[in-house]
Amino acid sequence: MLVLKLAYMGELDFIKELQDLKTLLKTKNIVIGLVEKIEGETHIIKVMCEDESESVHQKIKFYISDILYRIVIRDYKKREMFQLIKDTYFFLRQDEILEIEILIMKVLYRENKIEDETGVFCENKINKIIEKIKECLEENNELNINGFITFRMRSLRGDIEEIIDKVIQRYMVDKEYKEFIKLLKYFVEIQDSKMNKINIIIDKDGKYRVEDEGGKDIFNQFTKEIGDSKIGIDANIEDVIISGLITNAPKEILIMGRENCLNKEFMRTLDKVFEERIIYCD
């Protein structure tokens, strides 16, 4: 039974992806056949399946929608992506644009793990695009892919560009973070060590205690050292600790109860700024 009839012209060849899908579906006990023929300059592929159940056909269309999504993304990258980034984010250097393009394609091709809010946002947008493509397949069992890209891209472009914007925002945040870390490391390197060792104890509630090597609580000392610095009155406890560590530049920082820390970014910053000075203890 015919499930879908796909037609295309030019360099949109995706038969290998359909062959890979055929193999994948076989592991799910779904057998499809692919019938390909050429009429003039038009390639026609018929997707056949003996199983007539609607649920099976829906599953096949879902997977093919994912393949068509990748075709759409490849076409968008080829025709529009570089110019969009260049025009919209004109402050980026050429090498940064090329680096960002790689990051964007990894996100669009779902090659990254979903680890944060940005990942969740992009994944939801990708699912939305695929669902729009699937709706087109459900409207008609025949689809001219070139025509789809030409006339339906407008409805997909907004979602694609929102993903691009989110990736670039994340890139800029990461860039600023790296520059911030580099600056903190510089401050640590130029400071003379005022203390040999500082202990940071994190209890089960995620609260901190900062001690010198004799066990004396020195958090208030850290607070006084900040004084009228640019950290300001809105500084949180982690800011105070980092500032105090940089000011005193201890040769060794012993951290106990790392697993209790509620602010993982704080631990990440300590690792990057103080590197080999950090020692973790149960």
Confidence at residue 234, expressed as pLDDT on a 0 to 100 scale: 53
Residue 165: CB partners within 8 Å, gap ≥ 6?
Answer: none
Residue 216 pLDDT more than 90? yes
Looking at 153, 185, 217, which one is the last position of a domain?
A: 185
In whole angstroms, give the CA distance from residue 274 to residue 181.
10
Confidence at residue 14, expressed as pLDDT on a 0 to 100 scale: 81
Q: Confidence band (pLDDT; 50, 70, 90) for 185? A: very high
Asked if residues 119 and 112 have their Cβ atoms less than 8 Å apart, the reply is yes
pLDDT (tens digit per residue) in 218-273: 998 888 877 645 444 456 899 999 999 999 999 999 999 999 999 999 999 999 99
Q: Domain check: are 89 and 132 in the same one?
A: yes
Q: Confidence band (pLDDT; 50, 70, 90) for 124? A: very high
Residue 66 pLDDT more than 90? yes
Residue 174 pLDDT more than 50? yes
What's the burial of 270, exposed, middle or buried (CB within 10 Å: 0-12/13-18/19+)?
buried
Calculate mean pLDDT across residues 75-96: 93
Calculate mean pLDDT across residues 145-174: 93
Confidence at residue 10, expressed as pLDDT on a 0 to 100 scale: 80
Residue 22 pLDDT more than 50? yes
Q: Domain check: are 128 and 200 in the same one?
A: no
Q: Domain check: are 109 and 17 in the same one?
A: yes
Confidence at residue 233, expressed as pLDDT on a 0 to 100 scale: 47
Cα separations in angstroms, 168 against 17, 117, 126, 145, 261: 29, 14, 16, 29, 29
Q: Domain check: are 206 and 240 in the same one?
A: yes
Helix (H) or strand (E) holding 144: strand 142-144
Q: Residue 263's domain spans which residues? A: 192-281
Number of structural domains the chain divides into: 2
Q: For the chain, what is the mean pLDDT? A: 91
In this structure, is the dihedral angle defined by the CA atoms of residues 43, 49, 52 and 58, taken in order, positive or negative?
negative
What percent of the chain stands above pLDDT 70? 96
Q: Domain check: are 9 and 104 in the same one?
A: yes
Looking at 185, 202, 228, which one is the last position of a domain?
A: 185
Q: Domain check: are 237 and 206 in the same one?
A: yes
3-state secondary structure at position 34: strand
Q: Confidence band (pLDDT; 50, 70, 90) for 206? A: very high
Looking at 154, 185, 216, which one is the last position of a domain?
A: 185
Q: Domain check: are 127 and 248 in the same one?
A: no
What's the burial of 19, exposed, middle or buried (CB within 10 Å: 0-12/13-18/19+)?
exposed
